[in-house]
Amino acid sequence: MSHPAVPLPPDEILVAGEWRRGTGAASETVDPADGGVITEIHHATADDVDEAVRRGAEAAASPAWRDLLPHERARHLHRIADGIERDADRLANLQTRDTGKTLRETSALVASAAGTFRYVAGALETFDDELTTQRGPSLTMSVHEPIGVVGAIVPWNSPVASDAQKIAPALAAGNAVVLKPAEWTPLVSLALGRIITDSGLPAGLLSVLPGAGSVVGEVIVTHPGVGKVSFTGGTSTGRRIAHAAAEKLMPVSLELGGKSPTVVFEDADIDAAINGILFGIFSSSGQSCIAGSRLFVAESLRDDFVERLVAKTRALRVGHGLDPLTQVAPLVHHKHRDSVAQHVERARAEGGRVLTGGQAPEGAAYERGAFYLPTIIDELPNTAATCQEEIFGPVLAVLGFKDEDDLVAQANDSAFGLACGLWTRDYRTAWRVARRIDAGTVWINTYKQFSSSTPFGGMKESGLGREKGRGWIAAYSRQKSLYWGLSDSPHPWAG
């Protein structure tokens, strides 16, 4: 199919409000649907990071930003949301080209980015400092202050939405932000940066610095001027960042990987469960931290359920992200597709039986793209590497369970604890199991739903801290206590 031209961001990075060519090496961004080069972006260097942090700190300390009242800062956030909404089609198209995702998904991510700015703006208007209960001759208060410069490091799977989830609360709290997009997908973050600078945000408050994690990312994390890092990405990178943060005693929030269990109980609404499970693992081609990649099915249902699931999986439309009928788009990069394929080979070597998929689709339309068929694997125990490691692709492992205790033990036998899905008509079963599973989010008779007002984050190796909800802005603030002495007489201690 032919694709409409999308205006591409120029080869410029954003250093504290100033657009200019990066002083690092040129890097090609590739369209995963056909392997073609989209454009070239020169990366940032350590010097660019240093300048971004230094000038970001100045901008955050300037009265033009520091002295704004919450409702005035909220106005800036609304203006950014207006800009995102105005440019929604272009952003979604750009993100589809850069990440391969379907236009339906990228449009939803763009809408979510605008929604994030609006929710945070609203929350900021009612982000109250606190008068604490008086317990002595002082009036006591707890107030929030900006941290200064926040480093925001994001992965390639949902850039515009994950960028917004860090930029909006960090700005709301009065900080400057240095954003580092992933190497494979810098384009939509640069386009978002342009919208933000055009919105009239005081110069210097935002930098967008594409580059390698080992260069730009590490310099952001270790820079003495960066007071917090908010990271979304893989668990091993998160652990490395946590070590570096410990050296500086810097707060860090980590949204990491997952291997989320989805459970179908005997009394489940089968049609709803099948659709929810397919959406949970195969939308975004499984490149989702919350993908429901381990499926536990009650023994009495298992054969029929799996047969129906396989039949529906085979009917999913694999294709180009711009084709409105596509359900499963290419993976983000050919290298990532090859890594998913290797995971499936290992599953076979472990004794897994591939019920469907297990290879790239055949045919001229798929030849040059990073496609992989939605894959279901049976006959592996939960202890197999396939069921323990995050694959981050369209690969589902089917497992069984004897009873509720066995289910909980297997579901929790994982290094991760990000999400879980439960399909049952019995609210008591759902309540009991939801409370016993190690997961930051449990979906009951639904899956992969998000709300800005509901905290999101992981347990165990899925992360530290929460995004969204009423605590969102506080997470980017420093807390300070004020004591206002009320006594008219001098303190008796000094006589």
**Is residue 234 at the binding interface for ligand NAD, with CB under 6 A as the rule?**
yes
- Burial (0-12, 13-18, 19+ Cβ within 10 Å), 264: buried
Give 208 or 309: the residue with its C-beta nearer to ligand NAD.
Answer: 208
Q: Which residues carry out catalysis?
A: 166, 255, 289, 467
**By the 8 A CB rule, do 11 and 18 touch?**
no
β-strand pairing of 176-180 with 261-264: unpaired
- Cβ 405 to ligand NAD, closest distance in Å? 28
DSSP string, 260-310: -EEEE-TTS-HHHHHHHHHHHHHGGGG-STT---EEEEETTTHHHHHHHHH
Piece of the chain touching ligand NAD by CB under 6 A; list 123-131, 250-258, 299-307, 320-328: 250-258
Give 283 or 424: the residue with its C-beta nearer to ligand NAD.
Answer: 283
Which of 65, 265, 392, 443 is the binder for ligand NAD (CB under 6 A)? Answer: 392
The CA distance from 38 to 98, in Å, is: 8
Piece of the chain touching ligand NAD by CB under 6 A; list 65-73, 115-123, 251-259, 272-280: 251-259
Which of 87, 390, 438, 461 is the binder for ligand NAD (CB under 6 A)? Answer: 390
β-strand pairing of 176-180 with 206-208: parallel
Query: Which string of x and - marks every residue 50-79 that binds ligand NAD (by CB under 6 A)?
Result: ------------------------------
- Cβ 446 to ligand NAD, closest distance in Å? 18
E-only strand ranges, 119-211:
130-132, 138-146, 149-153, 176-180, 206-208
Piece of the chain touching ligand NAD by CB under 6 A; list 197-205, 256-264, 266-274, 396-404: 256-264
Q: What is the dihedral angle through the alpha carbons of 449, 451, 454, 460, rounded to the nearest 10 degrees?
A: 40
Piece of the chain touching ligand NAD by CB under 6 A; list 113-121, 122-130, 150-158, 397-405: 150-158
**Is residue 241 at the binding interface for ligand NAD, with CB under 6 A as the rule?**
yes
- Cβ 104 to ligand NAD, closest distance in Å? 19
Which of 119, 127, 156, 265 is the binder for ligand NAD (CB under 6 A)? Answer: 156
Helix axes 103-125, 88-99, angle to 10 degrees: 120
* Nearest CA among 169, 152, 146 for reference residue 60: 146
Which of 258, 261, 321, 352 is the binder for ligand NAD (CB under 6 A)? Answer: 258
The CA distance from 324 to 455, in Å, is: 32
E-only strand ranges, 328-402:
353-356, 375-378, 395-401
Give 57 or 290: the residue with its C-beta nearer to ligand NAD.
Answer: 290
**Is residue 255 at the binding interface for ligand NAD, with CB under 6 A as the rule?**
yes
β-strand pairing of 375-378 with 395-401: parallel
Q: Which of residues 174-233 bind ligand NAD (CB under 6 A)?
A: 180, 182-183, 213-214, 217-218, 221, 232-233
**Is residue 475 at the binding interface for ligand NAD, with CB under 6 A as the rule?**
no
**Is residue 458 at the binding interface for ligand NAD, with CB under 6 A as the rule?**
yes
Report residue 217 as tokens: 């990312």
**Is residue 155 at the binding interface for ligand NAD, with CB under 6 A as the rule?**
yes
At 16, is the secondary structure helix, strand, or coil?
Answer: coil
Within 8 A by CB and 6+ apart from 271, the residues are none
Residues binding ligand NAD (CB under 6 A)? 153-157, 180, 182-183, 213-214, 217-218, 221, 232-234, 237, 240-241, 255-258, 289, 390, 392, 418, 458, 463
